[in-house]
Every structure is written in C-alpha cells, then in structure tokens.
Homo-oligomer: A and B are copies of this chain.
C-alpha cells in the first residue's frame, strides 16, 4: 500500500516570540546552526520512506508562499491551505480527502512540522514499523517516546502488555493522560508503562475515516465533500464552506481518546519538541560557560544563558540563566523559568493593539 506523509504546519509558534511571528512562525525558522529550517528538516528526514510527491503539507493560507520558498520540490497540489485553523481533526480530514481521492486508500503518517529528531535512522525505522502495524488490520498507531525524565509539559500514553506477536513492538494503548504534576510524572516514569505523546500518528486513510464517521460524523460529511471536490476547480470554495462549519477539535480528544484498536510504538530517536527558547541550549552546542550565543555578542561573567543577537552588539555582564532574543523590531529578555510565559507578552501586545509585533 502507498505510504504518504502529512505534515501539519499551521502552528503559530507563539513560544518563540519575537523570532516566531504570526506571519513567520517557528516551523519556518532555523533554530540550529546548520541553517535549515524546522520544516525543511522535517521533510528531509522523511525522504528515505516517502517521495516528495507523497508528502502533503497542511498549513494556513498565509504560509503557502513560505512553503514554496523553503520547499520548492513539494508539488503545489500537495500544499493544502486551511482557510481557518480548526485544530488537528479538520486538518487530518482535509489531508485524508486529498490522499484518498488520489490513491483510494493509503497509509498516512501524520507528523508535526516543528520537532527535532537526532537519530534519523531510528526514526525512519520506527515509522516503517508503524506503517506495517497500521496495515495489519484497522489499527490507529501513535508514536510514543520513551521518557528519560519526569517531564510535566507533555501528555502521556499508558499502554498494556503485548498479547499479539504479530504486532511485535506495538503495544495496545490503555489510555491517554493529560500533562501531569511532577509527582505523577515521576510515578509514570518509574512504572515502565507510560510513554510521552509525541503527536505523531500512523494509520490507513480508511481506518481513520471510519473512526471519523463513528465519532465525528459531521466532519466525516465534510471529508466526503472535500474528497469529491479535490483536484477540481471548486476545491477552494468547498474547503472554505467545510471549514466554516467544522468545530475546532483535536484528533486526540475527538478520536484517539474514544477509539478502539489504538496501538503505540515506542521510539527512542532523540526526539525534541523544541517547545520553548530553552530548547536552543539542548539542540545546539554551548560554550565553556554553558552559554548558547549567536550574533554579535560580548558576554562577560555570563553563564548558562541563551543570547540570540541580531544587528547590534549585545553586551551581557554578570547574567545567569537568562534568555535574550533580539530582532529588528522587538526584543525578549526572559529568565529561563519564565519561557512558558512568553505568551503573556503576546497577550499584552494584543491588548495594546500592537498586532504588527505579534
């Protein structure tokens, strides 16, 4: 069966303000020293499994030109522009409509556009195994990450003992759990029964759409309409109409928490969700003082800090655990323990009617 990839690239990346903007979000930024953007890396690491023609990118209308610019080899018809953002369920229905029109049925690997994978061969192996499991019946496969510490910022997947040798390495999912407190996270880590929810899914179009029909029937109707219109002149119009009516819904809540036959395959491929500015010191080399520094920076008595300079010289003196990000029109100065609150700045900008800076 044909294997396709669906890259979800509609995010706003607010936690990476001020570099990430509504008009230029995180997935289009280069956050590593090699100069590649997050979405370029995402596509590149998939090429051992799928060809460019089978990579579909679901994104916001406003980002189509950015994708054309950064990924010129992706066929234009594979760039699926949502008229409005309605979370992941409508996004998946849209991709499914185009893929099923083109290939009837196929395996869909649904992947975020803004994560980092360090061991790409392990990643490819995991996806290949997941595609096999997805094809052996009506299985919904989610990629779980083996936790290495009690992270409280991720959701977790609880799995059951394996009882089917046919699905070697895939475990039936018991339940999905929300971001835990630290105590719970420690319990999960030590139980050997929980994985991090990476937001990567693998299934056949037919399997996921059967589940849409069962759990999100209105959205399934929309899927049928979009499929009918796909590759015709009325596609754009149909999309606008469908998305207008779709409620905002995540596939996790709308399908995964209710469906049967959910399996998880655990991956250990150096996954990083690059969830905040803190990630920069994890995914890049730091200097002897533990600083990650780019641009024109003089750092004196400065330790464990992240300093992203822009055009002007930045001199830091005596600072520790500080994050500094300079851009042409805005600058963030933030302590490490406040990286999750960058959204507060955006809320303030919204309140002050300064949308040009968001």
Chain A residues in the interface with B (C-beta under 8 A) = 18, 298, 300-301, 312-319, 322, 324, 326-335, 337-338, 341-342, 344-345, 348-349, 352, 354, 357
Identify which of B314, B334, B349 contacts A319 (C-beta below 8 A): B334
Known A300-B344, A348-B300; judge A317-B331 contact (CB<8 A): no
Q: How far is the CA of A349 from the CA of B316 in the complex (A)?
A: 13
CB A213 to nearest CB in B, in angstroms, measures: 45
Q: List 11 A-B contacts (CB under 8 A).
A: A18-B315, A298-B352, A301-B341, A313-B331, A314-B330, A317-B333, A318-B335, A318-B341, A319-B322, A322-B333, A324-B333
**Most chain B Cβ neighbours within 10 Å, of A317, A338, A349:** A317
Nearest chain B CB to A316 CB, angstrom units: 5
Interface SS of A by simple majority = mixed
Across-interface contacts of A322 in B (CB, < 8 A) = 319, 322, 333
Residue of B nearest to A342 (CB): B317
Choice from B301, B341, B342, B345 contacting A338 with Cβ under 8 Å: B301
- The docked-state distance in angstroms from the alpha carbon of A315 to that of B357 is 11
Cβ A338 vs Cβ B317 within 8 A: yes
Cα(A344)–Cα(B317), bound, Å: 9
A314 touches B333 (CB 8 A): yes
Judging by beta carbons under 8 Å apart, are A333 and B345 in contact? Answer: no
Identify the closest chain B residue to A329 (Cβ): B312
Give the chain B neighbours of A354 by CB distance below 8 A: 313
Interface centre among A301, A318, A337, A344 (most CB of B within 10 A): A318
The answer to whether A334 and B348 touch (CB under 8 A), given A300-B341, A301-B341, A312-B329, is: no
Query: 8 tightest CB-CB pairs across the interface, nearest first?
Result: A318-B338, A318-B335, A317-B334, A313-B330, A315-B345, A317-B338, A316-B333, A314-B331
- The complex places the Cα of A37 from the Cα of B313 at a distance, in Å, of 26
Kindly list chain B residues whose C-beta atoms are within 8 Å of the C-beta of A349: 298
Q: Which residue of B lies closest to A17 (CB)?
A: B315
- Chain B residues within 8 Å of A314, by CB: 330-331, 333
